[in-house]
Structure formats: structure tokens, C-alpha cells
């Protein structure tokens, strides 16, 4: 299990060039549009798709296969899980805030899909909100971490697409 670790891998998707930019075909929602359409009351920056289980099950299944391939089958102690996922787009000037993805999530995996921008990425913080790690935004890089880590996106730019997968253990 990755309780106290932040795992990073390069070249997350094999053959990314075969489906690069396919995620742009999915409708993106602002948080206001999303909440109105779904009846939920979520809060997040930028825009995102509906859950990939609804809009692109093949891409979701491939993503889950890549997690096991790149991080091993024991990243979650082989416990069953429920996953929610979306493609997120954050443009230049869209602010983020330090937050945790838990509860209800136990693990988060971010996969950077846009073009590499070393001035952008994800910053992780300790409980005192002091920076502990900065992960630069490199295309096809994945970051898997316990959702209890404080983090935020940094230096958003036009075309900052990220696959976000949120896991809740059963």
C-alpha cells in the first residue's frame, strides 16, 4: 500500500500517440453546469468531463490496466475499490487551492495528458501546508498518492489536460 508515499512513473500510457487528444471530444462542464446537471454539490476549479465510466469506459479500463502495470498490483493491497474519474482542463489564470481528496477517496492518480510544461505541475504539502514536493507537469507522467495528502495544481496553462482517478477502497 502507498499510505506514506507519492509514486511517480513516466510513460504511463503505452502508445499514447495512437489516441493522443481523443479526450478533447468529450463535453467539458464547469462546476456550476456539472452540479446543475447531476444534482451534486461539488467544488473544483476549471472544467471537466462526466465520469469516464459514463462517457469512455474503454479509456477508463485501459487507464486502470496501466495503473496495475506501472505501479504493480499491490498498490492498494489488492483491495477492491470504486473508481470515479474524469478528464480535467485548467487554463492559464484558473486558480487552485490547497486541498485533500479525502474523504471520501483513499487514493488519487493524476496523469498529465497535455504538452509538457515544467513551470506547471502538482505541489504537495504537509499538514502545516508547508511544501514537501513539487512534481513538474510532463506529458504522460502519472502520480499516485494517498488522497489524504494536501496538494494543488500549480501554474495552470492553456491546454493543461489531466486524467484524474479517485479510488475508494471497499
User: Is the per-residue pLDDT at 72 higher than 70?
Assistant: yes
pLDDT at 103: 82
Handedness of CA 18, 116, 73, 146 (dihedral sign): negative
User: Is the per-residue pLDDT at 73 higher than 70?
Assistant: yes
Query: Can you give the pTM of this predicted structure?
Result: 0.93
User: Is the per-residue pLDDT at 2 higher than 60?
Assistant: no
pLDDT tens for 135-148 read 999 999 999 999 99
pLDDT tens for 154-169 read 998 888 999 999 999 8
Average pLDDT over residues 58-86: 89
DSSP sequence for 1-61 = --TT-EEEESS-STTGGGTTTGGGGSPPEEHHHHHHHH------SSEEPSPHHHH-HHHHH
Domain residue extents for the chain: 6-169
Q: What is the CATH number of domain 6-169?
A: 2.60.120.620
pLDDT tens for 20-48 read 888 889 999 999 999 999 999 988 888 99
Amino acid at each position: 500500500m502507498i499510505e506514506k508515499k507519492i509514486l511517480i512513473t513516466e510513460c504511463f500510457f503505452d502508445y499514447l500517440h495512437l489516441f493522443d487528444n481523443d479526450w478533447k471530444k468529450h463535453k467539458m462542464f464547469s462546476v456550476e453546469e456539472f452540479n446543475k446537471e447531476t444534482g451534486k454539490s461539488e467544488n473544483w476549479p476549471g472544467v471537466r468531463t462526466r465520469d469516464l465510466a459514463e462517457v469512455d469506459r474503454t479509456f477508463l479500463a485501459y487507464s486502470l490496466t496501466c495503473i496495475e502495470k506501472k505501479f504493480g498490483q499491490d498498490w492498494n493491497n489488492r483491495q477492491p475499490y470504486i473508481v470515479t474519474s474524469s478528464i480535467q482542463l485548467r487554463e492559464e489564470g484558473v486558480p487552485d487551492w490547497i486541498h485533500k481528496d479525502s474523504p471520501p477517496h483513499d487514493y488519487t492518480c493524476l496523469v498529465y495528458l497535455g504538452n509538457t510544461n515544467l513551470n506547471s505541475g502538482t505541489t504537495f504539502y504537509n499538514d502545516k501546508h508547508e511544501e514537501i514536493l513539487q512534481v513538474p507537469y510532463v506529458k504522460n507522467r502519472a502520480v499516485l498518492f494517498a488522497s489524504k495528502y494536501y496538494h494543488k495544481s500549480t501554474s495552470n496553462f492553456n491546454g493543461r489536460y489531466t486524467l484524474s482517478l479517485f479510488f475508494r477502497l471497499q
